[in-house]
């Protein structure tokens, strides 16, 4: 069956090339758009992704906020008050303040100073996203972090102990992160004291409070108690806050609709281009299929032959598309775009390829199924 299917594929090279090209373009575009969207969604919740959260942690923020990237200030006295709630082990104040970084070469950049208590640095960055330096370096006065990939967007060089200014105050880069970017901004991690100093924020305000619990089973109970006790605050399971952030940005920016539309149209166009080309190829070889039926081939056998051709087209097109996607991944890697090419994602694309190709072959299957052998003679 497979050998015969290959013969039919080689019989009309031009249409075979057209079908494979349609598969390659569709799958490449789908993989590229989903990969980019996945990367951007990761950036949207990177304040959570960069932090040292555990399943025992919840975050307390201002009640109206559903996006962790747009936090309002809350009273710092709540940090101490929350420790009195049964089930709470420890609380950690976190401050996020805006600033402007100025470099010796005259370049400037807007930054978000992310400060938390040393040496825990509960808000991050996590160890696997530290490129140069150590977290302990941020304990020192005037010490801040910088993101490795921001060097290209800021058009300046970044290295350890580089002197800079933040809001007109002297600072230095004591830590360089990698893949800890912010969505639509630039994170600079530092100690809580440094964040207050550079962000001109008094000791009476914090942006969020990270609460570590004693028992995982009491998480919802503590969340409900905090929400009932503090009407202006809201306690979040950290992962749910991250999901809320991504959802809010996707809806407000129409980014989800834009990427989703491109993916859907790539699927639809690929399906019909492949289907109609297979249909045209089947019409061109209708005498061959009629002859097969005339010498005893059943409808089931001929249908399987058509589906096998579509399956082979899918495998060839998928292999080429994956080669191009891996090339795309390597090409954008140096700019900080980390496209996920995990095994589940690859299997998803393979399944989609088979659905588009084999599904498109049904046009030809329907036509050949109705073919009477005598009509071709």
Interacting residues of 347 by C-beta distance below 8 A, sequence separation 6+? none
Phi and psi at residue 27, in whole multiples of 5°? -70, -35
CA 48, 51, 56, 60 torsion-angle sign:
negative
DSSP 214: S
From first to last of its 377 residues, the chain has per-residue pLDDT tens of: 667 666 666 777 777 888 888 889 999 999 999 999 988 888 899 999 999 999 999 999 999 999 999 999 999 999 999 999 999 999 999 999 999 999 988 889 999 999 999 888 999 899 999 999 999 999 999 999 999 999 888 888 899 999 999 999 999 999 999 989 888 789 999 999 999 999 999 999 999 999 999 998 989 999 999 999 999 999 999 999 999 999 999 888 888 788 888 888 888 888 888 777 777 777 766 666 666 666 666 767 777 777 888 888 889 999 999 999 999 998 888 777 888 888 999 999 999 898 888 887 777 776 666 655 555 45
pTM of the model: 0.83
Q: Are strands 57-62 and 233-237 parallel, antiparallel or unpaired?
A: antiparallel
DSSP string, 258-283: HHHHHHHHHHHHHHHHHHHHHHHHHH
* Cβ neighbour number for residue 107 with a 10 Å cutoff: 13
β-partners of residue 170 are 165
274: left (phi over 0), alpha (psi -120 to 50) or beta: alpha
Domain boundaries, the chain: 2-43+254-376, 50-252
């Amino acid at each position: 069956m497979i050998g015969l299917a290959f013969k039919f594929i080689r019989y009309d090279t031009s249409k075979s090339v057209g079908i494979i090209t349609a598969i390659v373009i569709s799958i490449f575009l789908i993989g590229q758009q989903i990969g980019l969207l996945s990367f951007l969604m990761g950036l949207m919740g990177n304040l959570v992704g960069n932090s040292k959260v555990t399943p025992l942690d919840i975050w307390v923020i201002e009640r109206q906020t559903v996006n962790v990237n747009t936090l309002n200030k809350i009273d710092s006295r709540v940090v101490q008050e929350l420790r009195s709630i049964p089930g709470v082990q420890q609380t950690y104040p976190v401050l996020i303040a805006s600033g402007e970084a100025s470099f010796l070469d005259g370049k400037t950049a807007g930054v978000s100073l992310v400060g938390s208590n040393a040496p825990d640095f509960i808000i991050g960055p996590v160890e696997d996203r530290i490129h140069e330096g150590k977290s302990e370096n941020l304990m020192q006065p005037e010490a801040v972090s910088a993101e490795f990939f921001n060097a290209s967007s800021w058009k300046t060089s970044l290295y350890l102990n580089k002197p800079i200014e933040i809001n007109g105050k002297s600072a230095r880069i004591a830590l360089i992160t990698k893949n800890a970017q912010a969505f639509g901004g630039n994170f600079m991690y530092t100690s809580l004291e440094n964040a207050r100093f550079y962000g001109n924020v008094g000791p009476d305000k914090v942006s969020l409070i990270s609460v570590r619990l004693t028992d995982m089973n009491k998480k919802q109970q503590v969340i409900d108690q905090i929400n009932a006790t503090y009407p202006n605050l809201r306690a979040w399971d950290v992962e749910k806050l991250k999901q809320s952030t991504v959802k809010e940005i996707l809806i407000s920016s129409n980014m989800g609709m834009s990427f989703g539309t491109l993916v859907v149209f790539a699927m639809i166009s690929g399906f019909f281009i492949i289907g109609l080309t297979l249909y045209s190829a089947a019409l061109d070889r209708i005498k061959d299929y009629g002859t097969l039926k005339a010498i005893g081939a059943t409808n089931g056998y001929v249908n399987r032959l058509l589906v096998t051709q579509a399956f082979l087209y899918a495998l060839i097109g998928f292999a080429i598309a994956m080669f191009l996607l891996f090339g795309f991944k390597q090409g954008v890697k140096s700019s900080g775009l980390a496209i996920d090419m995990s095994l589940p994602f690859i299997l998803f694309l393979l399944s989609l390829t088979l659905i588009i190709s084999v599904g498109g072959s049904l046009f030809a299957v329907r036509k050949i199924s109705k073919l009477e052998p005598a009509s071709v003679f």
